[in-house]
Structure 1
């Protein structure tokens, strides 16, 4: 790894902490694998609806700071950015600790990427925010504005009226100019996002398997 790259060991990574606090809980156990992306098996009762946590399971106080989780799938997590650029700014990450896209395993890339979850989650974000234009941004390494060295995609709605961003350089997708997400707002948005995601899954078919 390049010396300029940021790195946390998994036990200190904030996204790994979220993954540990919000495990994947299919309706039946996996036939081959441990439910954490280590193995290729899919349980007979494992469906897409298993991937959206219930309101009880999505308790944001499971982590410090609070985490507003929308999706807790076998290989993929989605949660609100705690320093959002705009309302509905969502992060989609790998469950396992992968620093860059090149570190991802094949199954993870298929699950998180354009093949499956990103389009479904993007539709949910559009429904909740009422904004149909959005950026999907993914950074690899410190020079590319990656702040948390754990693979994640930003889904950032682009409303007609955007807040003023004083620094318009590439750093806008790194730490940049952000406002802290208030717990009350985060909880409210996450409830709406989970509902919208369940509706999107229902269109696909709740019995559909990963």
Structure 2
């Protein structure tokens, strides 16, 4: 069974992002340096349990990944009540508690990040996709959710410099390198700034009080 001490595989790109961008006082980082890792990471959320950043091969402008801070290969590797009942060491109990909190955090942040994404992009429809294993198109073996905007007719059909295929934006095609373009870092920096601002508004709420997440 994994323990807290071995939850950061060095070879995992999402673990490298997690280590490079530790949690701050606020869950939404102020001005994180995207060049702390290679390729650049445009981070919009960094908490004790989850992170969110732009996909470097977006299916559509605003494609976000929400992932766990600690390393879990598949969704089934998160909190398991049966295993938790059988733990007999402090490190195993700590690992199961971290898995429980990570599971909760994913559920809490998915709707919040979704609302911020809709506000910034103007979309009304989007996919939330989570893949488990190579046969299910999981490329990075670290639990993560894709939030993929689906643009309406006449709304931002071309992204930035016009590199994204309009037909792809309107299609239901989900995965595959041929359907995706490399993220433009300049456009990403502008977009992630808007997403951070929208997230702060979501977290703080209209009355200015911070959500307890």
Tell me, yes or no, whether TM beats 0.5.
Answer: yes
> Per residue, is there more helix in 1 or in 2?
2
Instruction: Give, in angstroms, the shift of residue 117 of structure 1.
Output: 0.3
Distance 1:106 1:176 in 2: 37
Distance 1:141 1:187 in 2: 31
- Deviations along 1:49-91, one digit per CA (max 9) or x if unpaired, are x100012xx1101111100000001100000001001110000
Tell me what 1:197 maps to.
199
Q: 5+ residue gaps in structure 1? A: 1-8, 27-49
Higher CA-based Rg? 2
Distance 2:20 2:181 in 1: 25
Distance 1:87 1:208 in 2: 28
Q: Is the 8 A contact 1:16 1:97 kept in 2?
A: yes
Q: Is the 8 A contact 1:145 1:175 kept in 2?
A: no
TM-score, length-normalised on structure 1?
0.77
Instruction: Give, in angstroms, the shift of residue 203 of structure 1.
Output: 1.1
Distance 1:122 1:207 in 2: 18
Change (3 A) 1:85 1:209: same
1:134 partner SS: strand
Please state if 1:72 is matched with 2:50: no
- Deviations along 1:145-167, one digit per CA (max 9) or x if unpaired, are 000010000000100257334xx
TM-score, length-normalised on structure 2?
0.76
Q: Is the 8 A contact 1:147 1:175 kept in 2?
A: no
Q: 5+ residue gaps in structure 2? A: 1-7, 79-98, 158-165
Instruction: Give, in angstroms, the shift of residue 208 of structure 1.
Output: 3.2
Tell me what 1:156 maps to.
148
Instruction: Give, in angstroms, the shift of residue 209 of structure 1.
Output: 2.5
- Deviations along 1:74-111, one digit per CA (max 9) or x if unpaired, are 10000000100111000000010110001112211111
Q: Give me the CA root mean square deviation.
A: 2.0
